[in-house]
Chain A
Amino acid sequence: MNKRTRTLATALVSTLSLALTACSTGPSGEGSRGPERKNPAAANAGAVLGGTPQKGGTLTVLSNQDFTHLDPARNWVMPDMDFGTRLLYRTLVTYKAGPGAEGSELVPDLAEDLGTPSNGAKTWTFRLKAGLKYEDGTPITAQDIKHNVERSFSPDLPGGPDYAARYLVGGKGYQGPGQGKHLDSIRTPDARTIVFELHTPFAEFPFAATLPTFAPVPPKQDKGPQYDSRPFSSGPYKIESYARDKQMVLVRNTHWDPKSDTVRKAYPDRIVVTMGLKGTQIDDRLIASSGGDASAVSWAQLRPESISKVLTKADVKARLLAESSSCTEMLQMHTGRAPFTDLKVRQAVQWALDREAIVTAAGGPAVTDASSAAMPGSLFTGGKQPDTLGIPLAGDPEKARKLLEEAGKPDGFSTGLTVSTGDKAIGEAIQQSLGKAGIEVTIETVDPSAFYDTIGDTRNRTDLVYTGWCPDYPSGSTFLPFVFDARFIKEKGNTGNQSLFKDDATMKRMDEIAAMSDGDAANKAWQELDGRILAKAPVAPAASKRRTLLVGTNVAGAYGHTSWGGQIDYATVGLKDPSKSAN
């Protein structure tokens, strides 16, 4: 999933919300001043807060926004996918419920296993568990899953993952089941078997099958665009009420059978999501954690101005989750336009960039790590990014100036940078650090809603853009090809390859790796390719954010799930003492 969806979600309500998340073990700071200090928020990484929950009670979720989409055909925003697939609908396959690396392991959900490939991984067959039911007691069928996959093609239901559209035979030109047309490449020989025919081998299909696209929607309940406000439940909870941007109340789905589900624990009796609150007020309420707020968790990330209030109190700090978001952010240069056609100029930018200032702008080392590679740490062996470039964290303006001189630009030059409104402070940090090397930067801040359209217009966009990428699942194949393959470049609506990097050697290597059958060898190869690409300097690695979430004192079983961008795993979160929760 790319940053678009995530940023959209972050910015729905508060324009200044800084997305605060990142890799748990980035390079430690060679701080420019003072003795090296330990990351004060990393203590809870990989831990479960509050022990094992008790059944019952009401869990409150305090949110600064509404869900982007809960319709499974349209849900493609990390935390929203967590909420949808953990509470309301089940998918063929899902991620294990557990902190740290456990969270990237696959387990069967609706299906009996992780799927059976045949025909050289071009045909995938899944068999559903027996006795699965919807909230009204009617059985969940393979046809319903087919229906939802088809729905994801409909222009009436935009916004969802496009893996089905990218791989299924006959997907091109198909416009969904609205007009009564169906896809022949999804076969359902009986109510419990579903077969997908792909046009290219896709060994990682089980990972894709964790996406909400592969959740069941019964055609009888399908109300088109309005389904978004009332998805029909196949999970442990069903929607009692949903007032957009105000409040959602979930109650138990009595037809969900815990014996059929190895992942979801469904501890609370009710889950109430209060939406549209002010970010700082959510923080203040959870810091105080009094009354009903003790049984509350935060949906929105900790605001930068609240960080000091949390880190200075040990008891509050102990309730802070700061799991890696598995996304990295980069300063991407338009490699097709002068002066960035010159390798030396691009290297000068890499050397000039003050990642320390960027980290501070993104909330400080407690919630953000400086990044030294394109791919996030989670895609590297040992979960840690290598530092192949060896540039000091605070940058080296002298060296950058020298590189500019070698490039024939001793007096520097001026250029433009586009950042999303939420990253304004980061933009200013970039502006300041490149300025020291003689590169004068003008900042364009763009609303998150228009951000990807603006930078996707390759002809009119600024030379520099600050954006990132999140892998859809833990594999280099969902990162490097999206970000550095020139064949993905479009003149308008360009996504991913924002440096417009065109390098034949890189593309050749990517094709070779994609064809590898040995997963471990492929992973190693991706990791090594990352360093080779950085040496050609299409981007300057910048930062990797953590998702910082506060939980109340009565909350148990909470951890940030690595596969959901560090959002709290809603499959297992609950309360220590249900009797203390409100209503």
Chain B
Amino acid sequence: MILYLGRRLLGVAGVLLAIAAVTFTIFYVLPSDPAAAACGKACSDERLEAIRAHMGLDAPLWRQFTDFVTGIFTGRTTGTGQYALRCDFPCLGYSYENSEGVWDLLVDRLPVSASLAVGAAVLWLALGLTAGVTAALRKDTLTDRALMVGAVAAASLPVYFTSVLLIYGFIRLTGLLPYPSYVPFTSDPASWAANLLLPWLALAVLYAAMYARQSRGSMIESMAEPYIRTARAKGLPRRTVVVKHGLRAGMTPILTVFGMDLGGLLAGAVITESLFGLPGVGRLFYGALTTGDQPVILGVTLLAATFIVVANLAVDLLYAVVDPRVRY
């Protein structure tokens, strides 16, 4: 088990390094010049060169990359003299657009994206699994049909449409909820939830529909397994059979997908954040794209990749808990 974990962690580091390299190469051959963007109007060539040197953009690509990677662990200092900037471990570079370190920016925005992702995940798991399992246990009844038709329709709704509908219904028309603006959980949990409820719903509708479809299929499959028949034959109560045996085995594929989904969402739901105007990682990323803020683009990509890879690892480890057939 320890050996397995060590091997996997090594793999994770390798994957992240590869992603960093690819991202780096792509974005540092961008036609736009961050130095020119920072310099502003009427920028003399001399000043542009000075700014470029200050940003470290005059070094060759490989050099910039190795500086970046070692900088993550050892920290970096850019600029000289009184205006030198010190960026400590874990240094992901400095955003000249935001005048802030990339790491600090990410730490600042992550709670928003995480609140969005986790809240939505709780909702969609609850809704999706309930619907899926109910449908599976009442296979081919009217309930099953209705649930699945609803799920297919909901899964096909574009998120823009759902969001607009929610905003119109809950804010414009009835004034039940405030216009979303992020309030930290720590300062006012009730207001935090009220502000996030609509974004949660918008995301959850889509995912719950997908999870309902998936969990129904996987539940039907696992309920047909021989050991379920055995368990039933033993005279175990139906509830025990369904929850302890059927659901447990049926959840394995759901867990896999869930890991991927949550991992991806933690690093920002670009569209949902933009539709609701939430200051999360997704909006940070989108803003960075429109302003050519390369350190932030790189930072968010790495963060997102880390979440996905770590989520995958966590899921694989969880298998051992959920599915008794899996051993390491």
Residues of A within 8 A of B (CB): 1-2, 4-5, 8, 11-13, 15, 66, 69, 71, 76, 154-160, 162, 165, 172-173, 175-180, 222, 224-226, 228-229, 243-246, 274-278, 281, 284-285, 421, 447-450, 452-454, 490, 493, 495-496
Among the stretches B29-37, B59-67, B140-148, B254-262, the one at the interface with A is B29-37
Query: A224: which of B82, B181, B277 is its contact (CB, 8 Å)?
Result: B82
B5-41 with Cβ < 8 A to chain A? 31-33, 35-41
Closest A residue to B85 by beta carbon equals A225
For B96, what are the chain A residues with a Cβ–Cβ distance below 8 Å? 158, 225
A426–B261 CA distance with the chains assembled, in angstroms? 39
For B80, what are the chain A residues with a Cβ–Cβ distance below 8 Å? 178-179
Closest A residue to B31 by beta carbon equals A450
A159–B40 CA distance with the chains assembled, in angstroms? 5
Closest B residue to A284 by beta carbon equals B172
| Best-buried of A154, A156, A160, A496 by chain B (most CB within 10 Å) | A156
For A245, what are the chain B residues with a Cβ–Cβ distance below 8 Å? 98, 279, 283-284, 287
Query: B98: which of A13, A173, A244, A274 is its contact (CB, 8 Å)?
Result: A244
Closest B residue to A77 by beta carbon equals B40
Among the stretches B42-50, B125-133, B212-220, the one at the interface with A is B42-50
Q: List 19 A-B contacts (CB under 8 A).
A: A2-B41, A5-B40, A12-B290, A69-B99, A156-B79, A158-B40, A162-B43, A173-B46, A225-B85, A244-B98, A245-B284, A246-B182, A276-B279, A447-B289, A448-B290, A452-B41, A454-B31, A493-B43, A495-B43
For A69, what are the chain B residues with a Cβ–Cβ distance below 8 Å? 99
Chain A proximity of B51: nearest CB distance (Å):
4
Whether the Cβ atoms of A178 and B41 lie closer than 8 Å is no
For A1, what are the chain B residues with a Cβ–Cβ distance below 8 Å? 41
A5–B179 CA distance with the chains assembled, in angstroms? 30
**B84 sits at the interface (CB 8 A):** yes
**B4 sits at the interface (CB 8 A):** no
Closest B residue to A421 by beta carbon equals B290
For A496, what are the chain B residues with a Cβ–Cβ distance below 8 Å? 42
A169–B308 CA distance with the chains assembled, in angstroms? 56
Whether the Cβ atoms of A4 and B79 lie closer than 8 Å is no
Whether the Cβ atoms of B50 and A2 lie closer than 8 Å is no
Chain B proximity of A58: nearest CB distance (Å):
16
Interface residues of chain A: helix, strand, loop or mixed (majority): loop
A383–B45 CA distance with the chains assembled, in angstroms? 37
For B225, what are the chain A residues with a Cβ–Cβ distance below 8 Å? none
For B81, what are the chain A residues with a Cβ–Cβ distance below 8 Å? 178-180
A277–B181 CA distance with the chains assembled, in angstroms? 8
**B221 sits at the interface (CB 8 A):** no
Closest B residue to A448 by beta carbon equals B290
For B100, what are the chain A residues with a Cβ–Cβ distance below 8 Å? 229, 244
Not counting A284-B172, A453-B32, A453-B36, a sample of 11 additional A-B residue pairs whose C-beta atoms are within 8 angstroms of each other reads A4-B41, A155-B53, A158-B51, A165-B47, A245-B98, A245-B287, A246-B279, A278-B275, A278-B276, A284-B179, A449-B32
**Nearest 7 A-B pairs (CB), nearest first?**
A224-B83, A155-B50, A450-B32, A178-B81, A156-B83, A278-B277, A228-B99
For B83, what are the chain A residues with a Cβ–Cβ distance below 8 Å? 154, 156-157, 176, 178, 224-225
For A244, what are the chain B residues with a Cβ–Cβ distance below 8 Å? 98-100, 105, 108
For A8, what are the chain B residues with a Cβ–Cβ distance below 8 Å? 37, 291
Closest B residue to A157 by beta carbon equals B83
A546–B83 CA distance with the chains assembled, in angstroms? 39
| Best-buried of B36, B45, B83 by chain A (most CB within 10 Å) | B83
Query: B291: which of A275, A276, A284, A449 is its contact (CB, 8 Å)?
Result: A449
Binary contact readout B246-284 vs A (1 if CB under 8 angstroms, 0 otherwise): 000000000000000000000000000001110100011
Whether the Cβ atoms of B179 and A281 lie closer than 8 Å is yes
Whether the Cβ atoms of A175 and B290 lie closer than 8 Å is no
A13–B279 CA distance with the chains assembled, in angstroms? 11
Residues of B within 8 A of A (CB): 31-33, 35-48, 50-51, 53-54, 79-85, 94, 96, 98-100, 105, 108, 172, 179, 181-182, 275-277, 279, 283-284, 287, 289-292
Query: A493: which of B48, B84, B181, B283 is its contact (CB, 8 Å)?
Result: B48
For A447, what are the chain B residues with a Cβ–Cβ distance below 8 Å? 32, 289-292
A228–B40 CA distance with the chains assembled, in angstroms? 16
Instruction: Report the number of A-B residue pairs with Cβ-Cβ less than 8 Å.
Output: 146
A12–B279 CA distance with the chains assembled, in angstroms? 13
For A224, what are the chain B residues with a Cβ–Cβ distance below 8 Å? 79, 82-85
For B31, what are the chain A residues with a Cβ–Cβ distance below 8 Å? 450, 453-454
A256–B50 CA distance with the chains assembled, in angstroms? 37
Interface residues of chain B: helix, strand, loop or mixed (majority): helix
Chain A proximity of B76: nearest CB distance (Å):
14
Chain B proximity of A582: nearest CB distance (Å):
12
A49–B220 CA distance with the chains assembled, in angstroms? 67
Whether the Cβ atoms of B45 and A158 lie closer than 8 Å is no
Chain A proximity of B226: nearest CB distance (Å):
55
For B292, what are the chain A residues with a Cβ–Cβ distance below 8 Å? 447, 449-450
A461–B170 CA distance with the chains assembled, in angstroms? 48
A66–B293 CA distance with the chains assembled, in angstroms? 15
Whether the Cβ atoms of A243 and B46 lie closer than 8 Å is no
Chain B proximity of A71: nearest CB distance (Å):
8
Closest B residue to A3 by beta carbon equals B41
A454–B287 CA distance with the chains assembled, in angstroms? 19
Whether the Cβ atoms of A13 and B41 lie closer than 8 Å is no
For B276, what are the chain A residues with a Cβ–Cβ distance below 8 Å? 278
Q: Quick one: given A229-B100, A449-B32, A450-B31, are A158 and B84 in contact (CB under 8 Å)?
A: no
Whether the Cβ atoms of A281 and B182 lie closer than 8 Å is no
For B47, what are the chain A residues with a Cβ–Cβ distance below 8 Å? 155, 158, 165
Whether the Cβ atoms of A277 and B277 lie closer than 8 Å is yes
Closest B residue to A153 by beta carbon equals B47
Q: Quick one: given A76-B41, A224-B82, A495-B42, are A15 and B36 in contact (CB under 8 Å)?
A: no
Chain A proximity of B33: nearest CB distance (Å):
6
Chain B proximity of A163: nearest CB distance (Å):
9
Closest B residue to A226 by beta carbon equals B99
Chain A proximity of B314: nearest CB distance (Å):
30
Q: Quick one: given A228-B99, A276-B279, A447-B292, are A493 and B36 in contact (CB under 8 Å)?
A: yes
Chain A proximity of B256: nearest CB distance (Å):
35
For A229, what are the chain B residues with a Cβ–Cβ distance below 8 Å? 99-100
Chain A proximity of B36: nearest CB distance (Å):
5
For A454, what are the chain B residues with a Cβ–Cβ distance below 8 Å? 31-32
Chain A proximity of B89: nearest CB distance (Å):
19
Closest B residue to A276 by beta carbon equals B279
Whether the Cβ atoms of A4 and B40 lie closer than 8 Å is yes
Chain B proximity of A461: nearest CB distance (Å):
12
For A278, what are the chain B residues with a Cβ–Cβ distance below 8 Å? 275-277
A228–B182 CA distance with the chains assembled, in angstroms? 24
For A165, what are the chain B residues with a Cβ–Cβ distance below 8 Å? 44, 47
Chain B proximity of A527: nearest CB distance (Å):
24
Q: Quick one: given A11-B290, A277-B277, A450-B32, are A162 and B42 in contact (CB under 8 Å)?
A: yes
| Best-buried of B37, B94, B100 by chain A (most CB within 10 Å) | B37
For B182, what are the chain A residues with a Cβ–Cβ distance below 8 Å? 246
A172–B94 CA distance with the chains assembled, in angstroms? 28
Chain A proximity of B65: nearest CB distance (Å):
23
For A155, what are the chain B residues with a Cβ–Cβ distance below 8 Å? 47, 50-51, 53-54
A495–B99 CA distance with the chains assembled, in angstroms? 25
Closest B residue to A450 by beta carbon equals B32
For B79, what are the chain A residues with a Cβ–Cβ distance below 8 Å? 156, 178, 224-225
Whether the Cβ atoms of B181 and A274 lie closer than 8 Å is yes
Chain A proximity of B161: nearest CB distance (Å):
16
A17–B291 CA distance with the chains assembled, in angstroms? 14
Closest B residue to A177 by beta carbon equals B82
Chain A proximity of B274: nearest CB distance (Å):
8
For B279, what are the chain A residues with a Cβ–Cβ distance below 8 Å? 245-246, 275-276
A430–B50 CA distance with the chains assembled, in angstroms? 39
For B179, what are the chain A residues with a Cβ–Cβ distance below 8 Å? 277, 281, 284-285
For B48, what are the chain A residues with a Cβ–Cβ distance below 8 Å? 493
Chain A proximity of B292: nearest CB distance (Å):
4
Whether the Cβ atoms of B82 and A158 lie closer than 8 Å is no
